[in-house]
A and B are shown apart, each in its own frame.
Chain A
Amino acid sequence: MRATFTRYLSRHPGAVIGLVLLGLQVIAILFAPWLTSYSPVEADPLASLEPPSLAHWFGTDVSGMDIYARVIYATRINLLISLTAVAVAFVIGVPVGLLIGFYRGGLSSLVMRVFDFIQSFPIFVLGMALVSVMGQEIWNVSIVLAVLFIPMFARVIRAEVLSLRERPFVAAARCSGATDFSIMFRHILPNALTPAIVQISISVGLAILLTAGLSFVGAGVRMPTPEWGLMVSSGAQQMILGVWWVSLFPGLAIVIAVLSFALIGDMAKDLSDPTTRDRR
């Protein structure tokens, strides 16, 4: 397994880049207080909108807050929101998908229609509506994203289960006296998980974008919380004045985060697919 992984990395520089970028984010999360001496939320009005310099590597925003410090600390907030949302969606979506795939009937159809209802809304508009109802808290943004992602995981798992439940090994398990619970969780789930695991990295990237987007339009977290979308938004007003640094650096951080999860998603897909894994 380890050899396969090493061989894969040696042949796929994209995956290496993805891991390196993820590593940078992990470092930012773990060592933020040691990476900057500035507070990410303390205003210094007299240092307002200073361009990048040795004192402020990424410059300062309108309130005089150090953008480098805010970009570093924002990694915690953005990834916390995104990973929490995806984790919750995975934990709920996978069993639900398993159940509605295994037990086809009225309840299963009803659940699918509920998912259709959720997914028929433009995801961003629904996100804005839910956040405005629940309040602009970090955890609320996470919960909203989780609600949006649950149908994705459930659908992926259900599709797999619908195919797997007709396979001979399921019939064999049933003949040997296995209960439904045992069949679902011991026999079907391990075989159905692969696409859901690939979906995780795609969803994390999407969650990062949605979090940033919600904050950009004022429906995400509150000022002065360090959050990339909020930072891009607060800098957008200054672009016309030639102040480019307020939006640029958090914008790059979003690109790096989303790109890293996209590349890792590709890697997960390749490694979990026996046909492509063996070829590579």
Chain B
Amino acid sequence: MLGTVSTGLLDLGRRVLVPSRSMAHAPRLTFAGLLAGGIGAGLVAALLAAPLPARAQDAKTTLVVAAPRTPESLDQEYPPTEAGHEVRRNVNERLLGYAQKKGDDGILYEDFTTIVGVLAESYELSPDKKSITFKLRKGVKSYNGNELNADTVMWSFERGWNMKSNFHWYMTQIFKIEDPKVAFTKVDDYTVKVSIPNPSPLLDRIWINSDLGILDATEVKKHLTPEDPWGARWLSTNTASFGPYQITKYTPGQEVVYDANPNYWRGPARLKRVILREMPTSANRVAALQAGSVDVAEYLLPRELALLSKVPGVTVYKVFGNFIHRVEMNNAKPPFDNLKVRQAVNYLVPREEILKSVYFNTARFTKSPISEIYPAFTDEYFFFNNDPAKAKELLKEAGFPEGFKTQLAYRTGDQIEEEIAVILKSAFAKGGIDVELLKLPASTLVERYTKGEVPMYFFRDMAIVPDAAYVANLWLNSASAINYSKFKSDEVDALINAGLTSTDEAKRVADMKRVQQITMEGAPWVFLMNPGYQLATRANVKGYSWYTPNGNAFYDMYKE
């Protein structure tokens, strides 16, 4: 054995040079080897001893999320997607928000009746609802330590306007703003005013959308170039705002790392780091959650959620949500330009069977184009049951007594859509409709239905502003860019346009009910299911909250 033992690394190296007699025939020891061994041993000892509490702390403050995909872009001006919404919710702080309330299920929800200040400490609506004045909080700092002020907000507005994407859409389509110089004004260093040409009942609640986050202009401006005056390239892979997190690592297709903003105005998040890993196959997300290698698994299949709800150590959260999953028909082209054909197709859908076999009774029938949780929703005009005889009669009246051939497209990798598509193929065959199923990559599918090249396709979407006129404007106004089904009703257009400018709430509700009636009778879509939103977590993950964009808010979550 060695002659002596030391606690100091250098001392250890020096003293072990002299072996004891019993080591005379042992393999020869060298100084370098012993020094390396000593350093290694010391490091291991240090790792084992000191960081134990720290590592336990890391585990408690780090959340690993398994998601079907990483966000396509980190820029809030990128077209909204589910993954993109989650980034915006956690990174881009908005001017206003809804107050939170705890549901009977213990989940935090937004209280749509109470709007509170976020980056704006307070706000003031003019009596005619043609202007809103935001009083900004003082001392609010971004992850990079830059302070919020009116100039920051004004630059965010300017950028949004000039990018001509999401911000521009809200301002022009909802608020009908034409001149940004008139619309956006800085009153003082901490006050900003937005003025619009017509009254709008949405003048306050639009600013709750995560698409309208306020950027850390000081930070973004460091990365502007003459070719990229609004930082579109830099913001597509970086973030800079006043929200609870900053994305510090973004590897598309692999991983996103969120680090908590130590300067966050509500106090730093309990979860210091969130690691979102892309796992496209839902079965892999299930396996990872069961094994404990991830804390949260997003967008699982109802069948998998049913399994996980029985697994010890796993919690499944189910909320009503606002998703509407439907098959859209191209109303502008034969045969779906015929009202009777669209109604016939709706009579052929075996909704009960789909609900049981695909959704395991976790969804609800879509009985209106408006989500059930939004004001002015009504299901009184839904009249479609599974009646193949009625469908055949309608098809005969429409001039298709023998049915017709058509196509139904769905997204590659979307198990739910494939299962429903197969059921619909069999169901439509009972009316003589021969459906060819097209499995297309998501980008190809979007490209083809935006060009009107697919007669029928699956469409899952949610409207994040809880207002019927806003929702109807998105999907049913013939002037809307995302009315892909090309549904057109002059009366619906007029009612929606009135609803976007009227401040008479009772009349708005009446008008929106009429819109729902016309839509159900007009059957622009194959009405399917409102699937809700579900999330599976390890049981020690608490604080789950639900917001209309369905992205998880990591600030509310913590680990026990």
The residues of A with any CB-CB pair to B shorter than 8 Å are: 41-46, 48-49, 62-65, 136, 218, 222-224, 234, 236-241
Check if A241 sits within 8 Å of B303, measured CB to CB: yes
Check if A46 sits within 8 Å of B357, measured CB to CB: yes
Check if B439 sits within 8 Å of A222, measured CB to CB: yes
Check if B437 sits within 8 Å of A223, measured CB to CB: yes
Which chain A residues lie closer than 8 Å to B303 at the CB level? 49, 62, 238, 241
- B412 within 8 Å of A by Cβ? yes
Considering the chains assembled together, what is the distance between the CA atoms of A56 and B19 in angstroms?
A: 77
Check if B439 sits within 8 Å of A45, measured CB to CB: no
Per-residue CB contact flags for chain B residues 264-294 toward chain A (1 = under 8 Å, else 0) read 0000000000000000011100110000000
Residue in B281, B287, B357, B418 whose beta carbon sits within 8 Å of that of A45 in the complex: B357
- B551 within 8 Å of A by Cβ? no
Per-residue CB contact flags for chain B residues 300-320 toward chain A (1 = under 8 Å, else 0) read 010110010000000000000
Chain B stretch 407-463: residues in CB contact (< 8 A) with chain A: 412-413, 415, 418-419, 421-423, 425-427, 429, 436-439
Considering the chains assembled together, what is the distance between the CA atoms of A46 and B307 in angstroms?
A: 19
Min CB distance, B300 to chain A, in Å?
11
Q: Given the known inter-chain contacts A239-B283, A241-B303, please indicate yes or no for A48 contacting B357, CB distance below 8 A.
A: yes
The residues of B with any CB-CB pair to A shorter than 8 Å are: 281-283, 286-287, 301, 303-304, 307, 350, 353-354, 356-358, 412-413, 415, 418-419, 421-423, 425-427, 429, 436-439
Considering the chains assembled together, what is the distance between the CA atoms of A42 and B429 in angstroms?
A: 9
Considering the chains assembled together, what is the distance between the CA atoms of A114 and B422 in angstroms?
A: 41
Check if B418 sits within 8 Å of A223, measured CB to CB: yes
Check if A45 sits within 8 Å of B423, measured CB to CB: yes
Check if A45 sits within 8 Å of B358, measured CB to CB: yes
Check if B423 sits within 8 Å of A63, measured CB to CB: yes
- List the A residue with the shortest CB-CB distance to B301: A237
Check if B438 sits within 8 Å of A222, measured CB to CB: yes
Can you name 15 A-B residue pairings with CB atoms under 8 Å? A41-B426, A43-B425, A45-B358, A45-B423, A48-B358, A62-B303, A223-B418, A223-B439, A224-B422, A224-B425, A234-B418, A236-B283, A237-B281, A239-B283, A241-B303
- List the A residue with the shortest CB-CB distance to B354: A45
Min CB distance, A43 to chain B, in Å?
4
The 6 closest A-B pairs by CB, nearest first: A45-B353, A45-B357, A48-B357, A43-B426, A63-B422, A240-B283
Check if A237 sits within 8 Å of B423, measured CB to CB: no
Check if A62 sits within 8 Å of B419, measured CB to CB: yes
Which chain B residues lie closer than 8 Å to A64 at the CB level? 357
Which chain A residues lie closer than 8 Å to B283 at the CB level? 236-237, 239-240
Considering the chains assembled together, what is the distance between the CA atoms of A222 and B34 in angstroms?
A: 65
Which chain B residues lie closer than 8 Å to A241 at the CB level? 303-304, 307
Which chain A residues lie closer than 8 Å to B286 at the CB level? 240
Check if B425 sits within 8 Å of A218, measured CB to CB: no
Which chain A residues lie closer than 8 Å to B425 at the CB level? 41, 43, 224
